[in-house]
Chain A
Amino acid sequence: MEAFVQLNGLVAPVDRVNVDTDAIIPKQFLKRIERSGFGQFLFFEWRWDEQGNVIPEFSLNKDRYQGASVLLSRANFGCGSSREHAPWAILDYGFRCVIAPSFADIFYNNCFKNGILPIKLTEEQVDDLFKRTEAKEGYKLNVDLENQVITDEDGLNISFEIDAHRRNFLLKGLDDIGLTLQHEAAITAYEQRRAASAVV
């Protein structure tokens, strides 16, 4: 997994609450057996109409948001299906950071497994970021995970909370299976203890 330390990137807004993982990556694209190549299908049904024409009103179709790497959205982002194809699509499209007032648990967890930083801010802070993004074409944020701050060129400076372990995990791009396997002896001992007592 690629480490996440710092990011300076264009912000793209998706101004909806409860963005579900079916919307992020519709089911017809879950049939691939690889992890890659999902970005082209990100928000598929919001980007193209039924005839395959571009829906120009959708933010990600606007010229000004091309090349964005920070995704800004509303509460309960990533709700619904556990599909990890959602963060795969977000990452493959080019986003490394998602900012929202709240995230669904499974999606939030899946982000860290893929080197995506999900940042929770207050509703007011997110509102302010939507306004700033709307007001200024080419609006960029600097996301510094090391120091847990978000800044922009206009003097914005917001600190954000993140679990210390998760932060460390992203900063170093760790392999968590490897980390668990460091406890191999404890796992084996547990299995032996359980087998002996047959606790279910």
Chain B
Amino acid sequence: MFEKIWENHEIVSEQGKPSILYIDLHLVHEVTSPQAFEGLRLSGRQVRRPELTFATMDHNVPTKDRFNISDPISKQQVDTLTANCKEFGVKLYDLNTIDQGVVHVMGPELGLTHPGKTIVCGDSHTSTHGAFGALAFGIGTSEVEHVLATQCLQQAKAKTMCIRFNGKRKPGITAKDMILGLIAKYGTDFGTGYVMEYTGEAIRELTMEERMTVCNMSIEAGARAGLIAPDETTFAYLRGREYAPQGAAFDKAVEQWRALCTDEGAEFDLTLDFDVATLIPQVTWGTSPGMGTGITDSVPVPEELPTENERKAAKSAIEYMGLKPGTPMTDIEIDYVFIGSCTNGRIEDLRAAASVARGYKVNPKVTAIVVPGSGRVKIQAEKEGLDKIFVEAGFEWRDAGCSMCLAMNPDVLQPGQRCASTSNRNFEGRQGRGGRTHLVSPEMAAAAAVQGRFVDVRKWDFKAEVTA
């Protein structure tokens, strides 16, 4: 599939040089674009295809009192995006629109993400869009400028890897557990230089949103991009969306999309297997997404790890995380819960978290926030009454944005605070200086909010009704 998309977009291919690849969709946000627009201005260049370029503001925006950005530098960055979009004729979904949201939630919702497209954004989690069978990857600001100016990128062809997710998921096991489990097993750089295609029974059974969760974290495995072949699930999701082909054009598009799928017997540079049937809910204990384990397991003992680099890294991570080697994961108490992000801020994620929270109260020592991935997710959740479930349980119900995934807005952990987070990175200081992040699924995060520590959500007593 990667080869087919590549061939469809390769404009120039010269021996010993990177290819020139055409880009179908360019998503833009406020943090990685100002220097790119400035570059265009300095060189007197225009945006070549403004109609293929869509912008939103997500990283900096407050999730309460959102129009009042108190940090003047954040405000300047948001205002700069607005001015740049106006000057260069780029469509912007700003805070006044219901479509505003985390850029990787917004794109698919609008139906901008199609199978077979090449999609880039100055954001590493652009890999999310691969869930539709699009070749989607993150780029730096110089490349943002390159795409704005030329609608192309110079790219060397990546190697291909097939990840086979074998077996069926047990109840309580989420797409997040699948990708966290994969990275815990193989590490954070096994994907470097590769485009990964996720296959197997467990992938086919995922909903579109679950597939996005898996592809989202491809970058955490080091991969350039993650791909899932489009199928009926993909087409059903896309049908009727604003930027999806309409009517007969849609059916024609479906035919073309089907033809993109990897041919039987196609060869990959590398194939890996991952067993889903034995997977248990995952929690990270360290400061790299690969430092994770099952909820029934314990914080590792660094001395027992195989290599010197691993021992050193684990020791330093455990120290930063304020943990003791050998502590059962279920003994780890938390102060904060963040439910949201481009990994787990979609409606199904909120439904899953709400189903756990329903009828319970957030532990009094825990602050728990729910940040919908977009304005549309928020409205849908409110229609379904999810906001009420959360608020009655003691969660804060916020506005859309990246929020505490990277804490560029006011949602920041204090030093030493420990957070159960549905986001994608547990790096040192990611959610605030000295903050300690444990990556989990929305279900696990909601359960941790209630209990004040990590619990095995497979044993959760789900309540049908909201009780006082």
Interface residues of A (CB under 8 A from B): 16-18, 20, 22-23, 26-28, 30-35, 45, 50, 74-76, 79-85, 87, 102-106, 109-110, 113-114, 163-165, 176-177, 179-181, 183, 186-187, 190-191, 194, 198-200
Is A33 in contact with B313, judged by CB distance below 8 angstroms? Answer: no
What are 17 A-B contacts defined by CB distance under 8 Å? A18-B188, A20-B427, A23-B427, A23-B429, A27-B408, A27-B430, A34-B38, A79-B222, A83-B32, A84-B140, A84-B142, A104-B189, A114-B142, A176-B142, A176-B154, A181-B149, A187-B152
The residues of B that contact A163 with a CB separation of less than 8 Å are: 156
Nearest CB of chain A from residue B250's CB, rounded to whole Å = 11
Nearest CB of chain A from residue B172's CB, rounded to whole Å = 29
* Chain A residue at smallest Cβ distance from B14: A165
Is A190 in contact with B22, judged by CB distance below 8 angstroms? Answer: yes
Is B150 in contact with A200, judged by CB distance below 8 angstroms? Answer: no
Is B139 in contact with A106, judged by CB distance below 8 angstroms? Answer: yes
The interface bits of chain B over 132-170 (1 if a CB of A lies within 8 angstroms of the residue's CB, else 0) are 000001111111011001111010100000000000000
Nearest CB of chain B from residue A155's CB, rounded to whole Å = 27
The interface bits of chain B over 19-54 (1 if a CB of A lies within 8 angstroms of the residue's CB, else 0) are 010101000000110110010000101000100000
Q: How many A-B residue pairs have CB under 8 A?
A: 174
Among A33, A85, A114, A198, the one with the most B-chain Cβ atoms within 10 Å of its Cβ is A33
Is B60 in contact with A187, judged by CB distance below 8 angstroms? Answer: no
> Is B451 interfacial (CB 8 A cutoff)?
no
Which B residues between 180 and 236 are near A, CB-CB below 8 angstroms?
A: 188-189, 192-193, 219, 222, 224
Among B18, B189, B406, the one with the most A-chain Cβ atoms within 10 Å of its Cβ is B189
Is A76 in contact with B192, judged by CB distance below 8 angstroms? Answer: yes
A180 to B151, CA, bound (A): 10
Interface residues of B (CB under 8 A from A): 8, 11-12, 16-18, 20, 22, 24, 31-32, 34-35, 38, 43, 45, 49, 59-60, 71, 73-74, 76-77, 80, 114-117, 122-124, 137-143, 145-146, 149-152, 154, 156, 188-189, 192-193, 219, 222, 224, 245, 249, 253, 256-257, 288, 309, 312-313, 316, 406-408, 415, 425, 427-430, 433-434
A81 to B78, CA, bound (A): 20
The residues of A that contact B114 with a CB separation of less than 8 Å are: 200
The residues of B that contact A26 with a CB separation of less than 8 Å are: 429, 433
A28 to B138, CA, bound (A): 20
